[in-house]
A and B are shown apart, each in its own frame.
Chain A
Amino acid sequence: MPLSQDPMRYYRSKRDQQRPRVTDKYTILGFISSGTYGRVYKARSKEGDGRIHAIKKFKPDKEGDVITYTGISQSAIREIALNREISHENVVELKEVILEDKSIYMVFEYAEHDFLQVIHHHSQTLRSSISAPVLKSLSYQLLNGLLYLHDAHIIHRDLKPANILITSNGIVKIGDLGLARLTYQPLQPLFAGDKVVVTIWYRAPELLLGAKHYNKSVDMWAIGCVVAELASLRPIFKGEEAKLDSKKNVPFQKDQFLKIIDILGTPEEREWPGVKDMPEYLNMKRLDRNDNKLYSWCSKTNFAHGHEFLKQTFAYDPDKRLTARDALRHKWFQEDPKPTTK
């Protein structure tokens, strides 16, 4: 192509020469996971102390067999933009971003395990529950990271065991900001951007009922689910997801809602006045009524000490749900058995 046709050619070749390549800086050691947006690799830095990193490579877009530029996904833009601004011990740290050959590589500090693996390890290998002090420590650190995000006006919107990491020293790190959003003065309401947020088992009732407005408290519901899962080693509300219909309408997630009211009982207007304004309210009314059985769920899980805490994170009314700040001050963390470091 003649220069007059592509005046940016000179610029690009200059940049291409300056830009370090991933393989100049890192030795790829192996493959960790493959997700919706791409793959995660384990890699060793070639510089300095040879530290281990996790490199998340966003899937490049393809047209047929040829990789082309089709525009960076909203999810990648979010994850990159938010990670560049934040820094906290309990949030996975982004070391650098390398843009190379139409692909984006995000280099993160390495965390040995995620919560999913910890849960699996206890249920399958050790066949014993996570001890109360460790469980409290994990929960506390998780809340500490979440408070940081919330104070920075970030809603995570995809908290679940696979997105919560833990280092070999037992430090909890919140990861995967691919669905996270700044909530400070949004130009359009949050629901307008993403029709579906939060993996179904961890999705708050107001989202299941089609709320058009929601806030940080959706993360606290997910935290409740994660803490319960750490206690019982299985998802507390394990519903079947109803698929989007052909017009991409989001159906009422009946089974998921049933799983919730199975344990927490049917939401009452007196505890959640806003419930009657929810778009799916009538669908919910049609479900069989149920009483709250959270205490007996906790007892049989050997988790009676966590009942008060769970009850408050599982408040149906988002405005009454425990906040991250209040959760950190909850007496559960002060009572015996006290949290330890792992």
Chain B
Amino acid sequence: MATDYWASSHYKRWIFDRATIKQARALDLQYVEDPEYIDFLGIFFANLISKLGKKLSMRQRAIATATVFFRRFYMKNAYCETDPFIVIAACCYVAAKAEEFPVHIKNVVTEARLLFANDEYGIKSFPSDNSKLAEMEFYLVDDLECDLIAFHPYRTLMTLCGREGSSVSHDTEAGELGAGVQDGPRYWGTGEGKLELQESALQMAWFIINDTYRSDLCLIYPPHLIAIAAIYLTLVFHESTHESLKSAQSWQYTPFLALKFKPS
């Protein structure tokens, strides 16, 4: 489980194709002129979760889990039939518990009320009563089918870059990069052949992963694939990494050059 993505609830129940995701928005689409607005809403709410999470001192992984919960919830519900603001608060509240870094319900209510009421959002109706948030939590957990453990690309990124401390050689992710294959020689997780990224490049990959939560990617692709894509983009966008790759003799660089990516 914790190590085996392929045996997880994440893989078994919460990966969808694009058509199914589109279907889930059918009701909401009736209320927008341009379907793109729905994507904008997705970005807007992801940003809001991130803001609330930071106010609650939640770690990035817990914020990511809250965002995944939010997107899963709206695979079964419509924005227009629910109040996304209380759903957001409940997602943060549950995710903090699921990630074993709980925040007190009172804090969630206070911070959510403060944040949502400011001029940017102008939502003054967020209930001050703890029990309303707890009630939402109850329904949320039900809609999430009690699947509260989510996998994230951060883990693959850090494992590939050998940043997981001493545990790397023993705790490689099964289901990620062929770990779990017990036989034969292996290079993954041995520390040999690890990806060497500059600190700032690693940071960029991390931020790219943060950004993926503004889209539906976490409902479509396994996290390790998202991590690889983020690393790929980093190799292209990160100036000095890009330069050093270009100048490296041993590196078959032609396909990269051919792509001619330019940071926008």
Contact = CB atoms under 8 A, between A and B. Distances in A.
B137 A152 contact: no
Given A7-B82, A77-B94, A72 B137 contact: yes
B171 A84 contact: no
Interface in A78-105: 80-82, 84-87, 97, 99, 102
A187 B60 CA distance: 10
Contact of B146 (A71, A80, A154): A80
B149 A84 contact: yes
Interface residues of A, number: 39
A193 B164 contact: no
Contact of A81 (B4, B139, B143, B146): B146
A313 to B, nearest CB: 21
A19 interface: yes
A7 to B, nearest CB: 4
Interface string B136-159: 111101110111110000010000
Interface stretch (A177-185, A240-248, A290-298, A331-339): A177-185
Contacts of B171: 153, 184
Contact of B138 (A7, A69, A82, A181): A69
B3 A151 contact: yes
A127 interface: no
A102 B98 CA distance: 19
B131 interface: yes
A123 B143 CA distance: 47
Contacts of A10: 81
Given A11-B139, A15-B139, A85-B9, A187 B130 contact: no
Interface string B103-137: 00100000000000000000001000011111111
A144 B138 CA distance: 34
B149 A71 contact: no
A86 B1 contact: yes
Contacts, number: 113
A169 interface: no
Interface in B73-111: 77, 81-83, 86, 93-94, 97-102, 105
B238 interface: no
B62 interface: yes
25 contacts: A11-B82, A12-B135, A14-B81, A69-B134, A72-B94, A74-B102, A77-B94, A77-B148, A80-B146, A81-B98, A81-B148, A82-B1, A84-B146, A84-B147, A84-B148, A85-B2, A99-B139, A99-B142, A151-B3, A154-B2, A182-B2, A182-B149, A184-B3, A184-B171, A185-B164
Interface size band for B: 35 or more
Contact of B8 (A14, A85, A181, A188): A85
Interface in B156-179: 164, 167, 171
Nearest to B61: A187
B125 A85 contact: no
Given A8-B82, A85-B149, A187-B61, A102 B138 contact: yes
B98 to A, nearest CB: 6
B125 A5 contact: yes
A69 B100 contact: no
Interface of A: 4-5, 7-8, 10-12, 14-15, 19, 68-72, 74, 77, 80-82, 84-87, 97, 99, 102, 151-154, 181-182, 184-188, 193
Interface string B196-220: 0000000000000000000000000
A87 to B, nearest CB: 8
Contacts of B145: 84
A8 B136 contact: yes
Given A72-B137, A80-B141, 14 more contacts: A7-B82, A7-B83, A15-B139, A19-B142, A72-B94, A74-B97, A80-B146, A82-B149, A86-B1, A151-B3, A152-B4, A153-B1, A185-B164, A188-B101
Given A70-B130, A187-B62, A193-B100, A81 B149 contact: yes
Q: Which of B4, B8, B9, B97 has the most A CB atoms < 10 Å from its CB?
A: B97
A186 B171 CA distance: 13
A8 B146 contact: no
Given A182-B100, A182-B149, A15 B86 contact: no
B97 A185 contact: no
B81 A68 contact: no
B108 to A, nearest CB: 9
B186 interface: no
A247 B94 CA distance: 28
Contacts of B242: none
B97 A77 contact: yes
Contacts of A82: 1, 149
A100 to B, nearest CB: 9
B83 A8 contact: yes
A188 B97 CA distance: 12
B82 to A, nearest CB: 5
Contacts of A97: 146
A68 B131 contact: yes
A74 B94 CA distance: 9
